[in-house]
Structure 1
Amino acid sequence: MKLAIRWILALALLQLPTLAHAWKAELITSGLHVPWGVSDIGEDRVIISEKNGRIGILNLANKHYTPIASHPNVTISGQGGLLDIARSPFDSQTIYFTYAKQVRDAIETTLSRAKLDDNKLSQWQDLVVTRSGSDGGRHFGSRVTFDDTSIFFSVGDRGERSNGQDLSTHAGAILRINLDGTALSDNPFIDKKGALAEIWSYGHRNPQGLFYDRLTSNLWSIEHGPRGGDEINLIIKGENYGWPITSHGKEYWGPISVGEAQEKDGIRSPKHVYIPSIAPSSLLLYRGSTYPQLNGKLVAGALKGAHINIITLDAQNNAVKEERILEDFGERIRDIETTSNGSIIFSTDQGNIYKLIRPN
């Protein structure tokens, strides 16, 4: 009953007035090939990963985009290709990537890194070639974020539902590793027989948004549900997030539920569910004064919904309000990031990079 009331409230929140017509998007550059990830590298510049494997640097001041490299070994298959990109907070020259890599008969979500020096990338190294493989092109994940000592990155279930509850595969999980790619000694399944040591949480379908909030030490994710039931989750060490045992989505071939849409012992319930789906692609928790209306709120990009989604949290980290801005934007928002000066920029599958402009 408690969960049912929460979902009724969530649906009601969809009807609240939004600020869609008060916000604007300023085009910075165009012509990219699905700019999948964006990361601030200082000096008013960001580094961008394109799905086809190309990497470039965008100068936000003069709006000039310079391709600098192609990531080696990227396999482009369905949703797979070059995925996220993130500069290390521990070493400003180290850039991390996730990408789809062909390994024998399977395609694996892989975490790699390289050194950025004078607009050139070198010293390429694969850190984690996950054991998540499938020959299909679905549900790779994958976003990268950092806490104070380590790296988190997400891996989708690769379109095989049983992977979500299987600790012997990295598929359907959020992983936590050291900077050298090894598992941390305090990871929750480090000593569990048959489980992979890198797993931090499991029971995920396809988490494409992942963000660590340093102010609160909270790790947040947002993931795709099947035909409805997208989820925002507060990620807790060792917890099971239910897929496919629990879900609020429907089968693609009919009005049949996938899993149980209720609280269940041993499964962590989401903080927010989207019905219908918005197809979330990215997530951040905004901290700053550039957009005072967004301070302390979750900000997500939507693919199917083609808007920016805003979630207000209460003191217990429950979602208490949903708002949608740029509702008439009409482009699939792929990644949304904060720059070092507090600005929000975002990329779209149409190959464009925009800056979010707040209402006057």
Structure 2
Amino acid sequence: MHRLLTLFTGLLLPFSTFANYDVERVAQGLSIPWAIEFVTEHQLIINEKDGKISLLDLNNGQTQRLYTIKDIFNSGQGGLLDVTSYKDSTGNTTLFFSYSKPTPEGATLAVAKADFIKDQIQNFTELFVADSTSDTSRHFGSRIEIVDGHLFVSIGDRGERDNGQDVTTHAATIVRLNLQGNAPIDNPFSNHSEALPEIWSYGHRNPQGLFYDEPSQTLWSIEHGPRGGDEINRIEKGANYGWARVSHGREYWGPLDVGEAKSLPGMVDPELVYIPSIAPSNIVLYRGDKYPELDGKLLAGALKLAHINVVEIKDNQLHKHARILGSLNERIRDITISPTNEIFFSTDNGNIYRLISKQPE
């Protein structure tokens, strides 16, 4: 499926107002806080890559340990990854976690749930173990979004390119699950004789960002390319995003293009490509009045270039860019939006920050 593609080659547009930001550090001393998630207006769940789950109270700045996942593969890009919360009609809160899990042949990705009751984690239960085992420690993904009572979970190709076009593995896919961990009957491959029924889309390299924008009913993904070729994609039911037959990146070992082409029939083109790579982490779409100049824009964390990347959506296309917080010089790992429409983010330096909009002098 061919679209008008935006290539970002490092030239920034003059968004002078985007320099008007400060940060307030609200937590420090963490071990790679891979994910942060609000459960109340003043409380965040923190996932640390080594398996620790904590609760941060913004009112007093105190952090308390809630749980530690023991059966975890904490190596390379693996470890405790994402967390998201779901509040049912009775007000009960359930937390969903993704993490890499050791197997006899290496490691794979798993999803678990737990009840959040009276500031405690209870009934931690594994829901889903992906068929994505590899002996590498690369490309697990993974982010979780809840859309219309279903879990969407991104899974990387596990460092094996052939997985990209193989629908008999969960590697290189975004899967859609019921909240109980099984495959919904209306998934695109539920009646396929060979494809795994949990698969929603495939042909992904390493999607470490996932965000559902309810007003536009769009599921956005951002994923790592090889040397160049990071992508922002709109995720569609049953779609093939091309990896590794299609790529805008180059081989790590030489000046050769990866794949057969930059676009092929039957495969969905990315909405935006970064050349060179920014090494993206999570992505959100901000809608709110706390930062008016960011309203309606995509925000993506950058690991390699250590900034937050701002992308404008205009006429249903991604075509303007700016960078903020580059002077902080910390790898942005996760971005989340509070119930009061404030932006918080975590960094690999072990810090969590609140974004502050400077007032005009």
Sort the TM-score into its range (normalised by shorter chain): over 0.9
Give, as a single letter, the amino acid of the residue that structure 1 aligns with 2:323.
Answer: R
Give, as a single letter, the amino acid of the residue that structure 1 aligns with 2:73.
Answer: T
Query: Partner residue of 1:240?
Result: 240
Identity of aligned residues (%): 48
Q: What number of residue pairs does the alignment pair up?
A: 356
Q: Residues 248 and 82 (structure 1 numbering): CA distance in 2 closer, same or farther, change over 3 Å? A: same
Q: CA RMSD in A?
A: 1.6
Question: What is the TM-score with the length of structure 2 in the denominator?
Answer: 0.95
Matched, 1:321 2:320: yes
Cα shift at 1:14: 2.9
User: Are the aligned partners of 1:112 and 1:127 in contact in 2 as well (CA < 8 Å)?
Assistant: yes
Query: Partner residue of 1:81?
Result: 79
Give, as a single letter, the amino acid of the residue that structure 2 aligns with 1:48.
Answer: I
Cα shift at 1:22: 1.9
Q: Residues 18 and 185 (structure 1 numbering): CA distance in 2 closer, same or farther, change over 3 Å? A: farther
**Counterparts of 2:146 and 2:169, CA distance in 1:** 22
Unaligned 5+ runs, structure 2: none
Q: Residues 71 and 18 (structure 1 numbering): CA distance in 2 closer, same or farther, change over 3 Å? A: farther
Range with bigger deviation, 267-276 or 110-119: 110-119
Query: Partner residue of 1:41?
Result: 39
Give, as a single letter, the amino acid of the residue that structure 2 aligns with 1:344.
Answer: I
**Counterparts of 2:16 and 2:271, CA distance in 1:** 21
- Please list the CA deviations of residues 62-87 of structure 1 after superposition, one character each: whole Å capped at 9, or x if unmatched: 22211221123112121101000111
**Among 27, 30, 51, the residue aligned to 1:29:** 27
**Counterparts of 1:206 and 1:152, CA distance in 2:** 15
Is the partner of 1:340 in helix, strand or coil? coil
Query: Partner residue of 1:221?
Result: 221
User: Are the aligned partners of 1:42 and 1:340 in contact in 2 as well (CA < 8 Å)?
Assistant: yes
Cα shift at 1:289: 1.1
Cα shift at 1:260: 4.1
**Counterparts of 1:34 and 1:346, CA distance in 2:** 12
Aligned counterparts, 1:139-154, within 5 A: 139-154=139-154
Give, as a single letter, the amino acid of the residue that structure 1 aligns with 2:81.
Answer: L
**Counterparts of 2:332 and 2:41, CA distance in 1:** 25
Cα shift at 1:18: 5.1
Unaligned 5+ runs, structure 1: none
Q: Residues 15 and 255 (structure 1 numbering): CA distance in 2 closer, same or farther, change over 3 Å? A: farther
Is the partner of 2:9 in helix, strand or coil? helix
Q: Residues 331 and 276 (structure 1 numbering): CA distance in 2 closer, same or farther, change over 3 Å? A: same
Give, as a single letter, the amino acid of the residue that structure 1 aligns with 2:123.
Answer: Q
Give, as a single letter, the amino acid of the residue that structure 1 aligns with 2:227.
Answer: R
User: Are the aligned partners of 1:18 and 1:325 in contact in 2 as well (CA < 8 Å)?
Assistant: no
Q: Which has the higher strand share?
A: 2
Is the partner of 2:256 in helix, strand or coil? coil
Q: Residues 98 and 140 (structure 1 numbering): CA distance in 2 closer, same or farther, change over 3 Å? A: same
Give, as a single letter, the amino acid of the residue that structure 1 aligns with 2:97.
Answer: F
Is the partner of 1:94 in helix, strand or coil? strand
Is the partner of 1:131 in helix, strand or coil? coil
Cα shift at 1:7: 4.6
Cα shift at 1:230: 0.3
Give, as a single letter, the amino acid of the residue that structure 1 aligns with 2:266.
Answer: G
Query: Partner residue of 1:67?
Result: 65
User: Are the aligned partners of 1:41 and 1:92 in contact in 2 as well (CA < 8 Å)?
Assistant: no
